């Protein structure tokens, strides 16, 4: 689990790297309602909380166990 200060100001690229998925996967999860939209912080940047990385890791573990995205 990541500490909150480790995720301060993380962009979508940093979240993708930390959670082991691609940027498009994160965007798909947002559109599907599996994770929350990021908080806008500066001009075109958005900030993700530490819980987002934990949530994506949970989704991937659940999929590996055979759960569908609809079941998650």
| pLDDT at position 8 | 62
**Full set of structural domains in the chain with CATH:** 4-64 (1.10.1660.10)
CA dihedral 26, 69, 51, 23 (to 10 degrees): -10
Give the pLDDT of residue 44.
74
Alpha helices in the chain (DSSP H): 12-19, 23-32, 50-64
**pLDDT score for 17:** 96
> In this predicted structure, what is the pLDDT of residue 46?
84
Distance set, CA 21 to CA 29, 34, 55 (Å): 11, 14, 12
pTM above 0.75, yes or no: yes
Query: Could you list the mean pLDDT of each consecutive 10-residue stretch along the chain, which spans 72 residues?
Result: 56 94 97 92 81 96 97 95
């Amino acid at each position: 689990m990541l500490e909150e200060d480790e995720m301060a100001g993380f962009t979508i690229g940093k979240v993708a790297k930390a959670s082991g998925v691609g940027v498009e996967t994160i965007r798909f999860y947002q559109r599907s309602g599996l994770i929350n939209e990021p908080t806008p912080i500066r001009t075109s940047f958005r900030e993700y909380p530490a819980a987002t990385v934990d949530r994506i890791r949970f989704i991937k573990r659940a999929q590996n166990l055979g759960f569908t995205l609809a079941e998650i």
